[in-house]
Amino acid sequence: MSTEIMASANAEARAVTGAGPEARAMDLLRFATAGSVDDGKSTLIGRLLYDTKSLFTDQLAAVEAVSAARGDEYTNLALLTDGLRAEREQGITIDVAYRYFATPRRKFIIADTPGHIQYTRNMVTGASTADLALILVDARKGLVEQSRRHAFLCSLLRVPHLVLCVNKMDLVDWSQEVYERIADEFTAFAAKLDAPDLTVVPVSALRGDNIVTRSDNMPWYEGPSLLHHLERVHIASDRNLVDVRFPVQYVIRPQSTTVTDYRGYAGQVASGVLKPGDEVMVLPSGFTSRIAAVETADGPVAEAFPPMSVTVRLADEIDISRGDLICRPNNAPAVAQDIEAMVCWMDETAPLRVGGRYAIKHTTRSARAIVRGLHYRLDINSLHRDESADELRLNEIGRVRLRTTVPLLADEYRRNRTTGGFVIIDEATNRTVGAAMIVEAS
Amino acid sequence: MTTPAAYQVSHLDALEAESIFVMREVVAEMERPVMLFSGGKDSIVMLRLAQKAFAPANVPFPVMHVDTGHNFPEVLEYRDQRVAELGLQLVVASVPEALASGMVRESGDGMRNRIQTPVLLDAVEKHRFDALFGGARRDEEKARAKERVFSFRDEFGQWDPKNQRPELWSLYNGRHHPGESIRVFPLSNWTELDVWHYIAHERIPLPSIYYAHEREVIERDGMFYAVNEFFRPRAGEERFKAQVRYRTVGDASCTAAVRSDADTVEKVIEEVAATRITERGATRGDDRVSEAAMEDRKREGYF
């Protein structure tokens, strides 16, 4: 995108952006983008940042200078966050880059991940915390292997909202037919993946059509602009407010003469709503008690829900420590040492093998685990299951059976992204080598 | 299921909850954490979050100031006042002492940015700190945009950007061998504007130099430097009085001010919301050295 084009950004759009002093009322949307420079992803992100006044003149000037020095034909906005020396030298994005922008309605955190298959682990990382994923396709090329792979990874990580941007509409004469063919094909594919909410938007990132404001070039499109959708997509109900899950993170016991006999269980609510008076059960012990108070540093609260960080006090003195979990007696996670999980392997130095022993971290609980079986390795392009596989290498995904040294207090990942996910750590190198999503726990 | 509006969480509440979660993870899992506290606005916000994370108990770790010797007096005074109020233990890693003992030597340009690093690493080793909270934000600088919340450092304090641990969900991996450490950035997802909104919302007092005041300055490379004992005008640079404020507070020899009439937190928020230049771009001589100046310093162990 050239500066000239960026400077032509819609004046009206600028007037509504930029967060004022009333910003306490905004909420937060985390979204992941995947793709390569060819798809126009950098241009799209550059456009969103620029049109929301989130791109600064010194950043732009620096990028322009570097682009010009390298002989790029256009200002390469990927240079904005391809901040590592190796990335700039090789002209590639290696890692997840986080970018931030805000409108009066929402603050946005973009986890911008490289799209190629050798960076699957980066995309999995970016998608793990995303409320929404944005997938780009080039209208001239239609769906390609990469688009299907991205959609699959988003469904695997249970990203609740998916947006397909059919980009470069200007290069197909703003054709409704081209758009609809791609939209239909993708919708059919997404249905097979059990993908949640899907929205398709025809855009030209370079020209700004349907990015911030509706395009005049595509009157046949009746949906919202991309930013309009990002600002309004309903994410509050994505949170699980039904199953009370409160992993105990830390026990607060002041050593003080003024505050005596205080014992509070600090943590972040994973799901559900906690209220004083509620009957609760503590796992793995199974003891029950009532919530005496839910506190924050600003005082007691009537209710706690995700993602609040609070301190819970119970009516009875029970032995509770980090790694325990507070839930309701009639709605508890599995207390399980045999775990079936989809695992994405992230280590380039050694593969996951049956018989391998690892450390794992699940909510606030640490354990060790042994790999008891590998059911299959998934070809993430064709979704074919290879049941003869005996290992998972870097970026490979498969279904694995593990036995843990202590019980995990676990839910299925599809029901709960916090109590259903864990990471696998190599005990010798201390590196995080795998991401796991629980399918079954018993 | 429709969620009642009551279960909405504002972005500042979500950021606060995330930062508190990060701090509790560190205290629960690490042996000897310490918080870097410069008296700058980000570390001030970070300290407020630490108070909240462990209330009604006291902040369960000491704070450390890497003192370049080039300080703004208002900031030192603020630091000492906060430390006394909260009953904190303060560790000072002193560059002037390290210069006197010969551990480091003054660099040619007189800037002490780079020589702080060995002084910091020495203090970490001496006190056997295994986790260091820093107030860096990913929106500040492009090398920081790729840094993890839990950022592993080897026994030399070095950062290896190509060899970072994947960080999924809110599962932070703080495992390390003796001598290695983790830098922890609880404000990773905050922007400059978020920090100011939080300061306003929490009514957090700041050192006075963050607000507009009259000061004798000179202009260099489009930035306004205060004339003081650490910063001498070059020949031909003219001193004049201007209404300025500081957007960042660092070493007094390389931190510049911006022209501003914003003398209240509300006015600062308006100014920051309207500004078109990043805070480091506007105020830090040390980042202008090269495209990768920050990455190079960070690799060596800079915060």
At A3 the pLDDT is: 39
What pLDDT is recorded for position A21? 41
Residues in B 222-281 with any Cβ partner in A closer than 8 A: 266, 269-270, 273-278, 281
Q: Torsion over CA of A47, A53, A58 and A62, rounded to 10 degrees? A: -10
Burial string for A192-203 (b: 16+ CB within 10 Å, else e) reads ebebeebbbbbb
Domain spans of chain A?
3-238, 246-327, 334-441
Q: Considering only CA atoms, which of A420, A335, A345 is closest in space to residue A378?
A: A345
Yes or no, beta carbons of B28 and A249 under 8 Å apart: yes
CB contact under 8 A, A28 and B169: no
Which residues have a Cβ under 8 Å from the Cβ of A388 and sit 6 or more positions away?
none
User: Does B130 touch chain A if contact means CB atoms closer than 8 Å?
Assistant: no
pLDDT of residue B16: 98
Contact A102 B161 (CB under 8 A): no
Do A268 and B21 count as a contact with CB atoms less than 8 A apart? yes
Give the list of residues 6+ apart from residue B85 with CB closer than 8 angstroms, or none: none
Q: Write the DSSP string, B83-122.
A: HHHHT--EEEEEHHHHHHHTSS---TT---TTTHHHHHHH
- Closest CA in chain B for residue A78: B142
Which residues are within 8 A (CB) of A178 and not within 5 positions of it... i.e. 6 or more apart? A139, A166, A169, A172
CB contact under 8 A, A28 and B2: no
**Is the pTM value of this prediction over 0.80?**
yes
**How far away is chain A from the Cα of B56, in angstroms, using its nearest Cα?**
7
pLDDT value for A362:
98
Q: What is the dihedral of CA A432, A433, A439, A442, to 10 degrees?
A: -80
On the question of pLDDT at B262 being above 60, the answer is yes
Is residue A121 within 8 A of residue A344, CB to CB? The reply is: yes
Mean pLDDT, to the nearest integer, of A410-417? 96
Task: Give helix B192-202 / helix B265-274 axis angle, nearest 10°.
Answer: 160
Which sequence spans correspond to the domains of chain B? 9-193+292-299, 208-288
CA of A171, closest CA in chain B: separation in Å?
32
User: Is the complex ipTM more than 0.95?
Assistant: no
Chain B nearest CA to A95, separation (Å): 7
Q: Which of A11-15, B111-115, B220-224 has the lowest mean pLDDT?
A: A11-15
Q: Which of A19, A303, A435 sits opposite B273 (nearest CB)?
A: A19
Chain B residues within 8 A of A128 when measuring between CB atoms? 168-169
pLDDT at A15: 30
SS3 B3: coil
> Could you tell me which of B148, B156, B95 has the C-alpha nearest to residue B124?
B156
Residue B186 pLDDT > 90: yes
Q: Residue A88: its pLDDT value, please?
A: 61
- Residue in A with minimal Cα distance to B49: A297
Asked if A58 and B278 come within 8 Å (Cβ–Cβ), the reply is: yes
- Determine the pLDDT at residue A166: 96
B10 contacts in chain A (CB < 8 Å): 24-28
Bigger pLDDT: B2 vs B9: B9
Instruction: Name the more confident of A237 and B295.
Output: A237
The domain made up of A246-327 has a fold known as: Elongation Factor Tu (Ef-tu); domain 3 (2.40.30)
pLDDT at A22: 47
Which of B25, B55, B177 faces A249 most closely, judged by CB atoms?
B25
Comparing CA positions, the residue from A135, A260, A282 lying closest to residue A199 is A135
CB B21 within 8 A of CB A268: yes
- Beta-bridged to residue A435, according to DSSP, are A344, A423
Q: Hey, of B9, B11, B164, which one would you mutate to test binding to chain A, going by the most A CBs within 10 A of its CB?
A: B11
Both tokens assigned to B6: 């009551």
pLDDT digits (tens, 9 = 90+) for A356-395: 999 999 999 999 999 999 999 999 888 899 999 999 999 9
Q: Which residues contact A4 (CB under 8 A, 6 or more apart)?
A: none
Output the six-digit token pair for B29.
């899992």
Position A37 scores a pLDDT of 57
Would you call A198 helix, strand, or coil by DSSP?
Answer: strand
Residue B6 pLDDT greater than 80, yes or no: no
pLDDT attached to residue A80: 66
What pLDDT was estimated at residue B3? 44
pLDDT digits (tens, 9 = 90+) for B128-149: 999 999 999 998 877 788 889 9
Categorize the per-residue pLDDT at B290 as very low, low, confident or very high, splitting at 50, 70 and 90. low
Report yes or no: B3 at the A interface, CB cutoff 8 Å: yes
Verify whether the Cβ–Cβ distance B8 to A81 is below 8 Å. Answer: no
Where is mean pLDDT largest: A29-43, A254-268, B57-71? B57-71
Residue-level pLDDT at A234: 92
Looking at residue A18, what is its pLDDT? 39
Give residue B154's pLDDT band: very low, low, confident or very high (50, 70, 90).
very high
Query: What's the pLDDT at A331?
Result: 97
pLDDT of B284 > 70? The answer is: no
Q: pLDDT tier at A35 (50, 70, 90 boundaries)? A: low
Edge-first strand order for the sheet with B150-153 is B90-94, B63-67, B33-36, B131-133, B181-184, B150-153
Task: Inspect the interface and report whether the beta carbons of A266 and B266 lie closer than 8 Å.
Answer: no
**pLDDT band, very low/low/confident/very high, at A90 (cuts 50, 70, 90):** low
Mean pLDDT of chain B: 89
Inter-chain Cβ pairs, chain A and chain B, closer than 8 A: 218
Neighbouring CB atoms inside 10 A of B61's CB total 22
Mean pLDDT within A166-183: 96
The confidence score (pLDDT) of residue B294 equals 67
- Name the residue facing A297 among B13, B51, B266 (closest C-beta): B51
pLDDT at A182: 96
Res B108: pLDDT: 77
Q: How many residues does chain B have?
A: 303
Chain A neighbours among B 154-193 (CB < 8 Å)?
161-162, 164-171, 173, 175-177, 188-189, 191, 193
Q: In this structure, which CATH number among 3.40.640.10, 3.30.70.20, 3.40.50.10800, 3.40.50.620 belongs to the domain B9-193+292-299?
A: 3.40.50.620
pLDDT reported for residue A58? 76
Residue A13 pLDDT greater than 50, yes or no: no
Q: Work out the burial of residue A437: count CB atoms within 10 Å of its CB; fewer than 13 is exposed, 13-18 middle, 19 or more buried.
A: buried
Query: What's the pLDDT band for A16 if we cut at 50, 70, 90?
Result: very low
B42 to chain A, minimum CA–CA distance in Å? 17
From residue A352, give the alpha-carbon distance in Å to each of A193, A394, A412, B42, B134: 26, 9, 22, 41, 34
State whether A27 and B11 contact (CB < 8 Å). Answer: yes
Asked if A246-327 and A334-441 have one fold, the answer is: yes
Nearest to B168 among A28, A106, A125 (CB): A125
Average pLDDT value over all residues in chain A: 88
- The minimum CA-CA distance between A49 and chain B, rounded to whole Å, is 12
Confidence of residue A72 (pLDDT cuts 50, 70, 90): confident
CA distance A183 to chain B (A): 27
Instruction: Kindly tell me if the per-residue pLDDT of A1 is higher than 50.
Output: no
**B80-84 contacts at long range (C-beta below 8 A, 24 or more positions apart):** B82/B37, B82/B39, B82/B44, B82/B47, B83/B37
Q: Do A431 and B165 touch (CB under 8 A)?
A: yes
Assess B143–A contact: CB distance below 8 Å, yes or no.
Answer: yes
CATH superfamily entry for domain A334-441: Translation factors (2.40.30.10)
In three-state secondary structure terms, B163 is helix
Q: How far is B25 from chain A (nearest CA, A)?
A: 7
Kindly tell me if the per-residue pLDDT of A330 is higher than 90: yes
Greatest mean pLDDT among A78-82, A423-427, B297-301 lies in A423-427
Q: How confident is the model over A250-272, as a mean pLDDT? A: 91
Inter-chain contact B146–A96, Cβ cutoff 8 Å?
yes
| Poorest-pLDDT segment among A4-18, B209-223, B288-302 | A4-18
List of chain A residues whose C-beta atoms are within 8 Å of the C-beta of residue B193: 19, 23, 102
Question: B14 CB near a chain A CB, below 8 Å?
Answer: yes
- The pLDDT, as a whole number, for residue A266 is 98
Q: Does residue B239 have a pLDDT over 80?
A: yes
Question: What does the longest C-alpha to C-alpha distance in chain B come to?
Answer: 70
CATH number of A3-238: 3.40.50.300
Q: Give me the residue from B58, B144, B193 closest to A19, CB to CB.
A: B193
DSSP A382-429: T--EETT--EE-TT-EEEEEEEEEEEEEE--TTT-TTTTEEEEE-TTT
